[in-house]
Structure 1
Amino acid sequence: ISRVLNVWKRYVSNEMSNTISFLKECLIDVELMAIGDRYSILYSVKNARGKILYYEGRNPKEYFNNEQLEEDWSKIPDKIRSFYENVHSGFYYYPSKSMGLESLENITYLDDYEWGIVDEIGEHNLKIDFVSSYGFFSNGMGTYVVVDYKNSLGDNATLWSSKEEPEYNLNFWDVVDEWMVIGFE
């Protein structure tokens, strides 16, 4: 457990301080998990109600398996790339494969989808460009923490939902860190 947490601290100690603190207090086990030729770490987290929750941290050295994102990878903010390349290629609630940072292969490319909410918002009111936007975090119910790499200075992100108006100019790590802890609870 301490070795795993040291990796988190080394790469995202400031960005995910609440998540690391929660894991430090509530992580009861880590196990190496093999599914086919893919390796992950399975985290067993005991929450305040005594329930054991399982989170998967994918291998950061595995094959990319996302052509569009791989093409744009160098344009993604450094700290996000560092997490995916050094800590985990996604970290999420294992049973639903959501409520966390998506694995590289499952990161949502916004331009691949039709978003009904755009009709309500009006295309002219959008402050992100779908062609340069990726949903790195998913709550599993249609809401994403999105990075538009053309507008990602200072870890700028958008809370994008298929049902509600987007929230712009949020700090990517603040939202991700807060939502990870909410998921644990």
Structure 2
Amino acid sequence: MNAGSGRIGLGSFVRNGEGWPRPGSAKIWFKRGVLWLLAAIVVGSAVWLLMPPSQGNVAQTQPVRLALASIDPAAPASASDTSSAIQAAGLDGLRISSQTWRRGGLGAKALVTFTVRNDNDYAVRDVEIVCAFTRRDGSHLTDRSRVLADIVGMKSRKTFARIPVGFVNVNADQAKCSLVTARRA
């Protein structure tokens, strides 16, 4: 009474009524395994050699400080001084009244939603923001900046929704955005 139980548990070694695998097949599998291991070592070595040398721990411990040049109204203004005066003048009445952020792009990009309030007597454009990202413990991770080409009208506010400011570290927990420059429209 043979119910065919001789093939149970042999899996892929038994094909079309064959019994156990041939005696030389273990040698073939061993040679293939050695070839795959050799190929993996060669590819790994090539990748390791092509990587740039590491610079050690280069993480920034202090956030980047941005400063605007002060403008002396008594000094004579040249053409280049006029453009910086316009940029600095736009920040007097500008502020961010509310801001939030979330992750997008599979968790790698920062999407910032904020409202810019313009209390000036003129419209502004090319508003540049810088967002500083920190860990949960408050240590600084990275800064990302973005120039917004939209116009914010005089004595008004404008909400920018889900603006991508760039890639951020997976450990980023908080974001603080601030205005850097703006130009008269």
Which entry has the higher C-alpha Rg, 1 or 2? 2
Shorter-chain TM range is under 0.3
Larger relative contact order (CA 8 Å, sep ≥ 6) = 2
In the superposition, the TM-score normalised over structure 1's length comes to 0.24
